[in-house]
Amino acid sequence: MANIKSQKKRNRQTVGRTARNRSLRSELKTRINATLAAADSGDAAAAEEALRLAQKRIDAAVSKGLLHHTTASRRKSRLAAQVRSRLG
């Protein structure tokens, strides 16, 4: 346990940030899995909509500092490629 007042505050801030990041990361994974599931179902319209929402969430993660912009770009590109290959 920290004895310094500033370190106690940093510990409290870390708990909040960790919870927020975990929530955002979880939603990101959910959107990506939903996109792949829509592509597997064969419904092109639903897959495109899910892909758009997943890409939007990936961009939001970059703006929140959760992902680096090049990581986000790579993930969006790979996700789009997977959707294309699964739709045929």
Domain boundaries, the chain: 24-87
| DSSP sequence for the chain | ---SHHHHHHHHHHHHHHHHHHHHHHHHHHHHHHHHHHHHHT-HHHHHHHHHHHHHHHHHHHHTTSS-HHHHHHHHHHHHHHHHHHH-
As a CATH number, domain 24-87 is 1.20.58.110
Average pLDDT rounded to a whole number, residues 56-65 = 96
pLDDT of residue 58: 97
Give the residue carrying structure tokens 């758009």.
52
What are the tens digits of pLDDT across the range 24-49?
Answer: 999 999 999 999 999 999 999 999 99
Read off the pTM. 0.86
Give the residue carrying structure tokens 């319209």.
45
